[in-house]
Amino acid sequence: MKFILATHNKKKRDEMSRILSPLGFEVYTAEMLGIELTDAEETGKTFSENARIKAELGCKESGYPCIADDSGLCVEALGGEPGVYSARYSGVHGNDEANIEKLLEKMKNIPDEKRGAYFACAVCVCYPDGKVIELEGRCEGKIGYEKIGEDGFGYDPVFMVGEKSFAQFTKEEKDAVSHRGVALRKLVELLRGGQNV
């Protein structure tokens, strides 16, 4: 079965394809199928609500089963910030540098033992017949004191898992433990268990 991915974020799209394709799922972008998807307004108050908004719109516009995710960073010392506003924490959507700068500034006086954080990912699949699958994944870590590493995107350079930041992980290492990897593997288990009929 073909699934369309509802995202214009190339790095996120590559990550989702990298995890799902080897497991036997045909995943396509709108561009690959010659379809133009509208950018959904992420008006939800939770990751799950935003993922569903994007999946429903992508399914309606494409006619294909649509997979969407919404994810972000939740920092305990900041009461869960930036949460659903992760991509626009600095006030400018998608400005990773400014978002990290704001986060590190807010965390500058927070001691090591209170720097706990987690990445959360909500995945939603909407089918043309109205069926919906929703699930979540998490990856626990903590916020570092400075950017470390060259790979990844978003908050990866300051999100520490053990002694390394996500930006120091290989793609395979990150996929094995990331919030998105956890959520997508749960999805694969459900679909292989017959949840796609």
CA-to-CA distance for 99 and 90, rounded, in angstroms?
A: 5
To the question of pTM greater than 0.75 for the whole model, the response is yes
CATH fold for the domain made of 2-195: Maf protein (3.90.950)
Give the residue ranges of DSSP H helices in 5-147: 10-20, 47-62, 96-107
Looking at residue 167, its amino acid is A
**pLDDT in single tens digits along all 197 residues of the chain:** 789 999 877 777 788 888 788 777 888 888 888 988 888 888 999 999 999 999 999 999 999 999 999 999 999 999 999 999 999 999 988 899 999 999 999 999 999 999 999 999 999 999 999 999 999 999 999 999 999 999 888 999 999 999 999 999 998 899 899 999 999 889 888 887 765 43
Q: Hey, which residues are catalytic here? A: 70
